[in-house]
Structure 1
């Protein structure tokens, strides 16, 4: 990234003002802009101060800054991303780097902690640890809430949902009821080209195994259990299945890091059979193959879960207690 966030934001606001997309009299508020670009208030505050010093915006009797000068009446409205998309300034700001940089770390810590038991997560302490605002941490926690990893307790406190053996059994039962149905429907909806692409990725990775990264395995799991299942065409069922994602996150954050990769491939053969059935338009057989795969997978994941709970090392982050 060639410029800091505050520098990028300064240039975006300056061009939008110069081109009239942010009209004279428009009131610019620090919090509003911070929410739009998904960044903390500090770079926003510094960008606004610089615009003020260079006389693009002015202080006035109200809160915030005003575009132009005192010859016009203040215009108070909430800005949205569309105010910047018109000049393509919204997409030019690399505003998600900080979010992406800590999202996987937080997910990793929270998922592994959930295997050990129930913890309380303090959002303010989380933001403090990574030196960011809640504008950055809050969407990460909302995502983890949507997949059943955390629950909201009160204003700035969340509770990690324990991932014990009973919960894992319940999650797998939900998957066995819903995923095979969606795969059968996806067989009719997916093109031959899409299925062949997934088969090719599996075969290439299988040739390299075990010299593969954990992220590659996670991507292959997503190809079947996320992207392909979504092609089943029933969004309500797909959204229900999001609550079973902790199952996939166990392997994502344990295999290849905390636990060594197994000698034999973890799932390639099963996935290839499912995709081959789909390629042949054998929806019912693909559904049965997925059901069998889930049954085998549950036994493996239960073993990993038990082993990590009893023997896995975990440094509890400061924001958990």
Structure 2
């Protein structure tokens, strides 16, 4: 077991391990309290990066917390600035300061965040492992092997499986064993249908507060991926999918929309990691062209054109699925995590 996971096991076994609040709720509570007390003065700029660094969390919990602050009238947006400004009235003199110098984390909240961070760190890895095998058949997840692999208790392993069940990746059958897959063509068609209906709307909503630098950075990565060498790198191609469909599209402010789309995207996007070599996959160049079109429109401020290009991209992907599935290489046992068994 590596040092980080050993440390994580010790944290997870601590007294705060029973906490079940969502991380964005913890962050919102602390920031709201500091705004009410005046520790974060009117006009102070709270940037997403500062929130993720201070609390040690990912982008989405930070976005959710800041969106809630905005909905409650404690902060407002000032496009194209990334982040929010304390107060309801726009100011000509925003205050740019060190968030960590203004916000003190209560010891209880800090301990709770550590526990949740380790749980989420492990969960993200399990989620990726399971989602990436769904197209390749039916698999049993052995909870004891899962616990041993990550060096956590069986209680935590069971909690991780319940979270996977909530997003529709696994199910517990009558024999009390946990199974994932197979992801059949009809189900894939349903997932794409949902994405075609919802992702363009989510993109329009996300662009209200999107940072231009974030879009340009992802456009540069797509342009760099046009080389043959880059197109044969599954991890890079997975990164391109996450860049557009997760980092940008899921930047929408509607939490229900985000969660629904995430569940629909997860098996389709993560499966790229298990495809092996992309060298012979004829759809990859077209995928890159479509991503470049969407991001190019976004960089130029053409939101409607970007939404239309995104819908065309998803429709093409959905139409090409039968051929793509038929051409998938077999999944070797070496590619499976030790807690996954072909069923």
TM-score normalized by the length of structure 2: 0.58
Going from structure 1 to structure 2, the CA distance change for 1:107 and 1:198 (only over 3 Å counts) comes to closer
Q: Distance in 2 between matches of 1:170 and 1:177?
A: 11
2:281 corresponds to 1:262? yes
Provide, for residues 182-241 of structure 1, a one-character-per-residue CA deviation record: whole Å limited to 9, x for no partner: 122333332332221221222223347436632222222111111111233222111111
Partner of 1:39: none
Instruction: Map 1:296-315 onto structure 2 (within 5 A).
Output: 296-308=316-328, 312-315=330-333
User: The residue matched to 1:159 in structure 2 has which SS?
Assistant: strand
Instruction: Map 1:139-150 onto structure 2 (within 5 A).
Output: 140-150=160-170
User: The residue matched to 1:162 in structure 2 has which SS?
Assistant: coil
Provide, for residues 69-101 of structure 1, a one-character-per-residue CA deviation record: whole Å limited to 9, x for no partner: xxxxxxxxxxxx96466xx788899x84x9858
Partner of 2:269: 248
User: The residue matched to 2:171 in structure 1 has which SS?
Assistant: strand
Q: Distance in 1 between matches of 2:298 and 2:133?
A: 37
Report the more deviating stretch, 264-273 or 225-234.
264-273
Note the C-alpha offset of 1:103. 5.8
Partner of 1:165: 185
TM-score normalized by the length of structure 1: 0.62
Partner of 1:280: 300
Conserved 8 A contact 1:35-1:135: no
Note the C-alpha offset of 1:294. 0.7
Match for residue 197 of structure 2 among 177, 198, 202: 177
Q: Distance in 1 between matches of 2:146 and 2:339?
A: 8
2:29 corresponds to 1:32? no
Note the C-alpha offset of 1:154. 7.2
Q: Distance in 2 between matches of 1:7 and 1:265?
A: 41
Going from structure 1 to structure 2, the CA distance change for 1:219 and 1:137 (only over 3 Å counts) comes to farther
Q: Distance in 1 between matches of 2:128 and 2:5?
A: 26
Partner of 1:133: 153
Q: Distance in 2 between matches of 1:281 and 1:6?
A: 46
Q: Distance in 2 between matches of 1:8 and 1:120?
A: 24
User: The residue matched to 2:307 in structure 1 has which SS?
Assistant: helix
Conserved 8 A contact 1:103-1:140: no
Q: Distance in 2 between matches of 1:164 and 1:248?
A: 15
Note the C-alpha offset of 1:35. 6.0
Provide, for residues 13-50 of structure 1, a one-character-per-residue CA deviation record: whole Å limited to 9, x for no partner: xxxxxxxxxxxxxxxx96636667xxxxxxxxxxxxxx
Going from structure 1 to structure 2, the CA distance change for 1:194 and 1:112 (only over 3 Å counts) comes to closer
Note the C-alpha offset of 1:290. 0.7
Q: Distance in 2 between matches of 1:176 and 1:6?
A: 42
Match for residue 310 of structure 2 among 290, 293, 298: 290
Note the C-alpha offset of 1:266. 5.5
Going from structure 1 to structure 2, the CA distance change for 1:261 and 1:142 (only over 3 Å counts) comes to farther
User: The residue matched to 1:206 in structure 2 has which SS?
Assistant: coil
Q: What is the total number of aligned residue pairs between the two structures?
A: 251
Q: Distance in 1 between matches of 2:17 and 2:205?
A: 42
Tell me, which stretches of 5 or more residues in structure 1 are unaligned?
13-28, 37-80
